[in-house]
Amino acid sequence: MTLPTRERRRLPAVHAAGRPESPPQAVDDAPELSRALAGRAITERDFNALRELIHRLSGIHLAPEKRALLVGRLNRRLRLLGLSSFRDYIELLENGKNANETEQMLNCICTNETHFFREPQQFTFLEQTVYAEWADRAARGERSKHIKVWSAACSTGEEPCSIAMSILERFPPHAGWSLDILATDLSTSALTRAVAAEWPIGKAEEIPGHLLKRFMLRGTGPKDGWMTAGPELRAVVRYQRFNLTGRAQPNERDFDLVFCRNAIIYFDTQTKTKVVNLLLGHLAPRGYLLLGHSESIFGLDATVRRHVPAVYSLRAGSGCAAAEPLPSVRAKDSSKCG
């Protein structure tokens, strides 16, 4: 059944697997407080070993003051595995010995907070400027009617579904347009939720009413209190695991839009630079890169043009950005995690 209007009822935040959503809170870093709050304490040496491992595997930079946060996020894994110390946990993970536990560990470390239509001024820019440009160029035969988008840190699916709603509304298939959204993330637990495409009904208030009515369905029976993506959205979004800091490159290129919002904020400067380089290298010549509002890139004046906050396009003639090393990339808070 289609949602009638904007649903404003607030529900308890419960995710698709039915567990309460309780992101770990940053707490004071005193070891005794960590012990009291989180169970097992961690030595300085083991904390540093885990920080290095997490950085190597994901690019995520945990500042020294994130010790309690790391303990809080991983203690549940130790309990489930029956381990009494972080040393035992590190030994389990070392040398890639336990791929499944490595995946679970990264799932715990990744911060998956996301919203529908996050950074609304970017959607306004798309609707008022970019879509008009696509329509004009297609009418003149200068571009195809096939739109390709990469949502490169898609978390639990709200971002790619927001993009899909925004584009499908303006470029419907019956007018000859087609849309393909590749949505990727490192976290397999986030991707599982994204593929299920079910969210608490309270999230409906993040979606403009006319889009909610057209693209989302209300859950009934055991799914009461939930909403789910309708078939039009499911048909255009496909999900894959992809590590932005890994060795592999996405096979696909020439994306009209690449979204990578609120992910590089967790990386150190060198990693941010590498990742932005990768993303720019996968843009179509007239494509746009969208970062989070607190993430900016500087020193790229010759290569990219900034439009509205955190929206960039390649300058004509700048060539494939991935072929050249780029200068620094900055986020306001490079150590934020949690």
Ligand X SMILES: C[S@@+](CC[C@H](N)C(=O)[O-])C[C@H]1O[C@@H](n2cnc3c(N)ncnc32)[C@H](O)[C@@H]1O
For ligand X, the binding residues (CB under 6 A) are 58-60, 110-115, 118, 153, 155, 159, 185-187, 190, 243-245, 261-263, 266, 292
CA distance 107 to 98: 14
**Interatomic CA distance for residues 272 and 265, integer angstroms:** 8
Shortest spacing between CB 156 and ligand X, in angstroms: 7
Residues 6+ apart with CB under 8 A from 336: 265, 266
Residues near 32 by beta carbon (within 8 Å), at least 6 away in sequence: none
CB nearer ligand X, residue 31 or residue 208: 208
- Residue 216 vs 275, nearer CB to ligand X: 275
The residue (of 34 and 262) whose beta carbon lies closer to ligand X is: 262
Identify which of residues 42 and 191 has a Cβ nearer to ligand X in the complex: 191
Q: Which is nearer to ligand X, 44 or 113 (CB)?
A: 113
* Shortest Å distance, C-beta 195 to ligand X: 14
Give least dist CB 5 to ligand X, A.
25
Q: How far is the CB of 160 from ligand X (least distance, A)?
A: 9
**Residue indicated by tokens 């993303």:** 279
- For the bound state, the minimum distance from the C-beta of residue 256 to ligand X, rounded and expressed in Å, comes to 17
Give the C-alpha separation, 70 to 238, whole Å: 31
Q: What is 53-65 written as a DSSP string?
A: HHHHHH-B---GG
Nearer to ligand X, 105 or 244 (CB): 244
Q: Least distance in Å: CB of 75 to ligand X?
A: 20
The pair of structure tokens assigned to 101 is: 């536990």
Handedness of CA 325, 134, 240, 1 (dihedral sign): positive
Please give the Cα distance from 248 to 252 (Å, whole number): 12
How far, in Å, CA of 275 to CA of 254, rounded? 17
Longest dimension (CA), the chain: 68
Q: C-beta of 154: minimal distance to ligand X in Å?
A: 6
- Burial label for 305, CB within 10 Å (0-12, 13-18, 19+), is middle
Quick one: 41 or 69, whose CB is closer to ligand X? 69
